[in-house]
Amino acid sequence: MADKLIITLAQLNQRVGDLAANAAAMLEVRRNAQRSDLIVFPEMQLIGYPHEDLVLNPALIERATVELEKLAKATADGGPAMLVGSVFVRDGALHNGVALLDGGRIAATRFKYELPNYGTFDEKRLFLPGPLPEPVAFRGAMLGLPICEDIWHPDVCRHLAQLGAEIFLCVNGSPYEIDKDVLRIDGVAKRRSIDTGIPLAYVNRVGGQDEVVFDGASFVVGPEGALWAQLPEWEEAVVDTVWTRVPSGSGHRWRCEAGDVAEPAKHPEDIYCAMVVALRDYVNKNRFPGVILGLSGGIDSALCAAIAVDALGADRVWCVMLPSRYTSQESLDDAAGCAQMLGVRLDTVPIGPAVDGFTGMLAPLFAGREPDLTEENLQSRIRGTTLMALSNKFGPMLVTTGNKSEMSVGYATIYGDMNGGYNPLKDAYKTTVFALSRWRNEHRPRIGLGPQGPVMPERIITKPPSAELRPDQKDEDSLPPYDVLDAILLGLVEHEKSVAQITAEGFDRATVERIERLLHLAEYKRRQAPPGVKLGIRNFGRDRRYPITQGFRTA
């Protein structure tokens, strides 16, 4: 019976559906980890996650079976075993599971018991739950193999403990949310370990996949509640953990040697890093050469430009200023200053000729009507069309720059400033945009490719926000102050509070009623908005799914 095990935690990125590349990455880890006994990969690492309905494709299921067999055969050389997540078919049912690959074969499989069906997860429509799993005997140790959601409830770990499990190896595809890292460790993993008296190694993936982003931060906790090791956030990492059998009472137990504990990113760096990783992977995995965005001299586009540079490098970011007759010299100067600080290309394309052309073209039909929101939106749509033309001609993906406050109440022009392929700010309220901009002007993120020091003129942060679509326009002409608006939206969107509940917290009832009305009216715009990284507990699209046509109001 072995008294020592080296278990390698492989915190990797992945590309959904690219089974050959995902398998090759796992084999590369194995080639470099020959002293290891077992390499543990994240949930669904062979398929990629979240896979959505792609996993229902029979050809993908067939190919996954073939690739898993190839991986199993690779272990015939007597080197490290591998714990690999994939999709499995048993008795005609589809399962999310893991396979222990050892000695050239699939030595054991275990299936996920607790299937999440909330927020970003939709597993009950894809999989059937497996039975409560039994431990797996591996080189003298009894391994419990709970899969992600299985540890968020007590039943699976208690069942495994009763059947003699000695080490929990939990594979995960746990997306980033604000403050979720603390919840994973203190609220879930430590509770399972303390409850059962069994140490737990938690392996999470890293990287962006459409709207979700994974922060990694894999860790090992002991049955006393101690954090024995933690991998870094936002970066791939492969770390050996050394486990030793030690006496305990009349028997023995396994203990992990203390390892490095990476310092987690503090708020708001964690949010900024989530945006950077999500945009980087969206652009790179979809094989865009870079990005283009409109740089207006305002805070939203300045922050998006900084995120893009930190994600891709300045040479892959192209900024365009699109002034109109209402654009101030201050905005022109601020856009130029921001581009210079970031080291990006900046071109200027005045939209006046196009505005005049459309105005003249529509004049016979608009005769007798005063200029209104139509003419304001026309400017935004001309800008959107211009940026899309540059994207089409030269290839970079258009980044759109609207924040969650604007998208919540429809303060955005569909087919105008909503044009784009991806929006880093989609789940960030305006107050968060201010906080992130201040932070980035004073700090460089650990994973950033951009410059040290400020990335935008201070005036961009301090001046009143304006769309500059009419003379002397300010956002607060149409909306409450952002600290008020965001607090109301947090209640309506994230916490599903009623108008009466929010009014009872001290807000003006008429204002709350108006914001609730705008929130529902703007649903049709949000359905047509580009994807953007999920940051909080309830983003638009994956988490909050409201009908476009509906008449319910809480007032």
Q: What is the mean pLDDT of the chain?
A: 96
Q: Which domains are delineated in the chain?
A: 4-256 (3.60.110.10), 269-527 (3.40.50.620)
Residue 314: name the closest of 338, 287, 282, 330 by CA.
Answer: 338
Residue 120 has a pLDDT of 83
If pLDDT is split at 50, 70 and 90, which confidence band does 465 have? confident
Q: What HEC string does 190-221 produce? A: HHHHHHHCCCEEEECCEEEECCEEEEECCEEE
Give percent of the chain with pLDDT exceeding 70: 100
pLDDT per residue over 69-86, tens digit each? Answer: 999 999 999 999 999 999
Catalytic residue chosen out of the listed positions 67, 112, 468, 534? 112
Instruction: Let me know: does 202 contact 172? Beta carbons within 8 Å.
Output: yes
Is position 295 annotated in a ligand binding site?
Answer: yes
Is position 324 annotated in a ligand binding site?
Answer: no
Taking phi over 0 as left and psi of -120 to 50 as alpha, with beta for the rest, 36 belongs to: beta
Is position 449 annotated in a ligand binding site?
Answer: no
If pLDDT is split at 50, 70 and 90, which confidence band does 288 have? very high
Residue 1 has a pLDDT of 59
Is position 47 annotated in a ligand binding site?
Answer: no
Instruction: Let me know: does 536 contact 403? Beta carbons within 8 Å.
Output: no
Catalytic residue chosen out of the listed positions 67, 114, 123, 148? 148
Is position 408 annotated in a ligand binding site?
Answer: no
Burial class (CB in 10 A: 0-12, 13-18, 19+), 346: middle
Is position 393 annotated in a ligand binding site?
Answer: no
464 versus 154: the higher-pLDDT residue is 154
Token couple for 370: 């005063």
**CA 79 to CA 74: how far, in whole Å?**
9
Is position 300 annotated in a ligand binding site?
Answer: yes
Give percent of the chain with pLDDT exceeding 90: 91
Tell me the pTM. Answer: 0.96
304 is catalytic: no
Residue 469 has a pLDDT of 78
Residue 248 has a pLDDT of 82
Helix (H, G, I), strand (E, B) or coil at 421: coil
pLDDT score of 299 more than 80 = yes
- State the DSSP string of 491-528: IIIIS---HHHHHHTT--HHHHHHHHHHHHHTHHHHHT
112 is catalytic: yes
Residue 140 has a pLDDT of 92
pLDDT per residue over 43-70, tens digit each? Answer: 999 999 999 999 999 999 999 999 999 9
In single-letter form, the type of residue at position 263 comes to E
**CA 343 to CA 330: how far, in whole Å?**
20
456-460 contacts at long range (C-beta below 8 A, 24 or more positions apart): 456/299, 456/302, 456/303, 456/305, 456/306, 456/334, 456/337, 456/338, 456/341, 457/333, 457/334, 457/337, 457/338, 457/341, 459/330, 459/334, 460/297, 460/298, 460/299, 460/302, 460/334, 460/338
148 is catalytic: yes
Residues 292-301: what's their mean pLDDT? 97
Q: Is the peptide bond before 50 cis (omega within 30 degrees of 0)?
A: yes
**CA 90 to CA 101: how far, in whole Å?**
18
pLDDT per residue over 370-381, tens digit each? Answer: 999 999 999 999
Q: How many CA atoms lie within 13 A of 63 on its CB side?
A: 16
pLDDT per residue over 506-552, tens digit each? Answer: 999 999 999 999 999 999 999 999 999 999 999 998 888 898 999 88
Residue 437: name the closest of 411, 456, 418, 459 by CA.
Answer: 456
